[in-house]
């Protein structure tokens, strides 16, 4: 998907949880089917990957750089990246790859900040936010691509920080996207009228909860406001209990691919066919 902002969901129940095998079992779990009420007369299904970054290696990558000359006729999609990883990663390795942020007029050029291993590949975008989508003025709503998934350069911790207050060299790894769905303290960052003012889309989102990273992929087209409500709701009430949450690229960009040694082939969740400029790779930590 290019620079269209879309949405996701509202509250439901877990159907099946699939942990990664071996050492990765403690590093992440994948819930492939979670049901939500997206609207009064509609439910939707999501996949939720919960990652403990103290036990797994999480890295943001430039997809064109990662694929290099292996890209098929300029195809920088999530699916192509997954095929490349399957061919180049150790045979017994466990990993998951999730789509990242938005592309500009060229699919291989990111919108906004992209930092890979301390090197800046794309500068911060300061395009202004839209009152039709955002709930109100704050540091997290100043820009359209309002948040940055950031691994702190000093301590290595992950957070979602406001793009408007980003400081140069703040992040060792960084990915700008938006809008921010949940602001710190559980504040919903999306206007309640957003479903009446925009179209629903399939979506990917990332959030932080109690030191864990949660990546959410939803194939059912939904709006941002119910997504934000579900993400911010407590786990006891059926939500994900997110302290802060960020919308990533959606529609045909959106997807997650899992590889485990216990089965042949790859597990695809979501479309992932449209070229993307960035992705997040989660790997079993090497000892």
97-142 pLDDT tens trace:
999 999 987 777 899 999 999 999 999 999 997 777 888 888 898 9
Domain span including residue 189? 12-284
Query: What are phi and psi for residue 257, nearest 5 degrees?
Result: -130, 130
Residue 42 in any domain: the answer is: yes
pLDDT at 287: 61
Distance, in Å, from the CA atom of 13 to the CA atom of 174, rounded to the nearest integer, reads 32
pTM summary value: 0.90
Residue 204 in any domain: the answer is: yes
Distance, in Å, from the CA atom of 22 to the CA atom of 27, rounded to the nearest integer, reads 10
Summary mean pLDDT of the chain: 87
β-partners of residue 77 are: 275
Residue 2 in any domain: the answer is: no
Q: Which residues of the chain have pLDDT under 70?
A: 1-25, 70-74, 287
Residue 6 in any domain: the answer is: no
pLDDT at 5: 42
Query: What's the number of domains the chain is made of?
Result: 1
Residue 206 in any domain: the answer is: yes
pLDDT at 231: 94
Residue 7 in any domain: the answer is: no
User: How many CB atoms lie under 10 A from the CB of residue 83?
Assistant: 17
pLDDT at 206: 98
Residue 134 in any domain: the answer is: yes
pLDDT at 6: 41
User: How many CB atoms lie under 10 A from the CB of residue 125?
Assistant: 21
Q: Name the maximum alpha-carbon separation found in the chain.
A: 51
Residue 125 in any domain: the answer is: yes
């Amino acid at each position: 998907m290019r620079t269209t902002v879309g949405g996701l969901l509202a509250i439901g129940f877990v159907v099946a949880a699939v942990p990664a095998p071996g050492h990765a079992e403690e590093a992440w779990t994948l819930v492939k089917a979670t049901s939500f009420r997206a609207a009064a007369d509609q439910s939707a299904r999501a996949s939720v990957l919960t990652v403990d970054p103290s036990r797994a290696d999480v890295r943001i990558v430039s997809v064109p750089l990662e694929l290099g000359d292996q890209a098929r006729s300029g195809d920088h999609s999530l699916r192509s990246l997954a095929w490349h990883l399957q061919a180049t990663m150790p045979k017994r390795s466990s990993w998951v790859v999730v789509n990242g942020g938005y592309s500009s007029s060229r699919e291989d050029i990111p919108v906004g900040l992209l930092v890979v291993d301390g090197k800046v590949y794309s500068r911060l975008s300061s395009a202004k936010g839209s009152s039709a989508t955002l709930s109100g003025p704050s540091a997290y709503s100043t820009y359209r691509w309002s948040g940055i998934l950031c691994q702190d350069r000093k301590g290595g911790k992950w957070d979602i920080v406001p793009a408007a207050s980003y400081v140069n060299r703040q992040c060792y790894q960084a990915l700008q996207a938006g809008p921010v769905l949940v602001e710190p303290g559980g504040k919903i960052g999306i206007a309640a009228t957003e479903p009446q003012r925009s179209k629903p889309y399939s979506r990917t989102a990332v959030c932080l909860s109690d030191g864990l990273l949660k990546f959410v992929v939803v194939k059912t087209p939904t709006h941002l406001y119910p997504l934000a409500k579900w993400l911010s709701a407590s786990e006891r009430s059926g939500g994900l209990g997110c302290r802060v949450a960020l919308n990533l690229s959606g529609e045909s960009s959106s997807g997650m691919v899992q590889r485990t040694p216990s089965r042949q082939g790859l597990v695809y969740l979501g479309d992932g066919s449209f070229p993307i400029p960035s992705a997040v790779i989660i790997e079993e930590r090497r000892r």
